[in-house]
Amino acid sequence: MPETHLASDNYATIHPAVLQAIIDANRSHVPSYGDDAYTSALNATVSEMLEMKAQVFPVLTGTGANVVSVTAASPRWGAIVTSGHGHMIGDEGGASVRLSGLPLLPVASADGKLTVDALEAIDWHDGFVHTPQATTLSIANTTELGTVYTQEEIRALAEWAHSRGMMVHLDGARIFNALAALDCDLKAVTVDAGVDIFSIGATKNGALAAEAVVVANPHILGTEYIQKYLMQLPSKARFVSAQISALLADDLGIGLGRHANEMAALLVDRLTELSNSSRIDPLELTQKRESNQVFLRLPAHLADAFRATTRFYDWDALANEVRWVTSWDTSMSDVDGFVDAFEKASHQV
């Protein structure tokens, strides 16, 4: 097995600057639970980037960030509208529903993105006491299918949601990949687009268990209490905050996200060359590649043969769909080696 895989960006290593930030923060005793200079500095940095007084809460996992965010953004009687491919639906072991107590209202979407047209085509039964009330719109950027919402698309969704009195949550587990793909800053696709609460995901982009929930809407109250009772208040928060600050400094995180995206683009190019060369059966991408995730159809016997040499996940086993993901530390030679190994496996079946 090679040392690198395209299974997940969670397989990747920690970026040296992030590791250094942990080392730099590893001196003297400081107050715990976020009452420290590193977390204050992160708050100041994010507030400056957003040009507003934001509240920033360092948390440990992307699932935790989502649970805290939707709980904070929703009334007890609310429900969360999200893509049918949403992470909260299929990938959190039900955490967002179990822990927030909020039902999820999935909306079908072939590319993981919601549109105002799709939302308007649904009768939400507003005010009907028997139906879960749609109070919170949750989107992810990048989406779970690697596609990317533009600022205009988010703004249109936010306008729709706000006109109905709903809050907008953005799951930013891969926000750096989205910012790189859009070539824009954090403010453009969050507060400028009407997002009320969002996460800055660092773990998949060079950090070690570090995400931040950012509350941009001052009407969202009590997030600090919610963070605690949902077990996402790290006692040694300084080490989480320091990691995120390291990625925000000098746009390091966007640079790493850009590299991961470029490696995915290279992967698609190499696969397309191979597919066009007739040396293998034609390949079918199932999603447009817009960030660091590549989805494609692979016959099960070929996927099994290739798995003897590398690791990757089925996305939809019944549809023979697999997912390959590049990371901040994926090199060009990793991509070449991966494609060569894929060609060899194709010739074996």
**What are the residues binding ligand PLP (CB under 6 A)?**
61-63, 66, 87, 91, 140, 144, 171, 173, 203
State in angstroms the smallest separation of the CB of 61 from ligand PLP: 4
Residue 206, Ramachandran bin (φ over 0: left; ψ between -120 and 50: alpha; else beta): left
Residue 187 burial by CB count (10 A; 0-12/13-18/19+): exposed, middle or buried?
A: middle
Q: Return the number of the residue (63 or 245) whose C-beta is nearest ligand PLP.
A: 63
226 versus 302: smaller Cβ distance to ligand PLP:
226
What string of DSSP letters covers 171-210?
E-TTHHHHHHHHT--HHHHTGGGT-SEEEEE-GGGT-SS-
Smallest distance from ligand PLP to CB 213, Å: 12
Tell me the closest approach of the beta carbon of residue 301 to ligand PLP, in angstroms.
28
| CB neighbour list of residue 98: distance below 8 Å, 6 or more residues apart | none
Name the residue number minimizing CB distance to ligand PLP: 62
Cβ distance to ligand PLP smaller for residue 136 or 203: 203
Rank residues 133 and 146 by Cβ distance to ligand PLP and give the closer one.
Answer: 146
Instruction: Provide Rg for the chain, Cα atoms.
Output: 20
| Encoded tokens for 288 | 């447009």
Tokens encoding 105: 């209202």
Name which of 70 and 254 has its Cβ closer to ligand PLP.
70
Residue 199 CB, shortest distance to ligand PLP, in Å, is 8
CB of residue 80 vs ligand PLP: minimum separation in angstroms?
13
Looking at beta carbons only, is 133 or 141 nearer to ligand PLP?
141
Q: Cα–Cα distance between 190 and 166 in angstroms, integer?
A: 16
- In the beta sheet, which residues pair with residue 201? 211
Contact 293, 146 (CB under 8 A): yes
- Residue 179 Cβ vs ligand PLP, minimum distance, rounded to whole Å: 15
Task: Tell me how far apart the alpha carbons of residues 62 and 67 are, in angstroms, rounded to a whole number.
Answer: 9
d(CA 240, CA 243): 5
Cβ nearer to ligand PLP, comparing 198 with 342: 198
In the complex, what is the shortest distance from the CB of residue 172 to ligand PLP, in angstroms, rounded to a whole number? Answer: 8
Kindly tell me the sign of the dihedral angle through the C-alpha atoms of 278, 282, 283, 289: positive
Nearer to ligand PLP, 292 or 346 (CB): 292
What are 172's two structure tokens? 């930013």
Burial (Cβ within 10 Å: 0-12, 13-18, ≥19) of residue 290: buried
Q: By C-beta, is 210 or 345 nearer to ligand PLP?
A: 210
Minimum distance from CB of 321 to ligand PLP (Å)? 16
Cα→Cα distances 224→35, 76, 220, 229, 271, Å: 12, 17, 11, 9, 47
State the minimum distance, in angstroms, from the CB of residue 218 to ligand PLP.
25
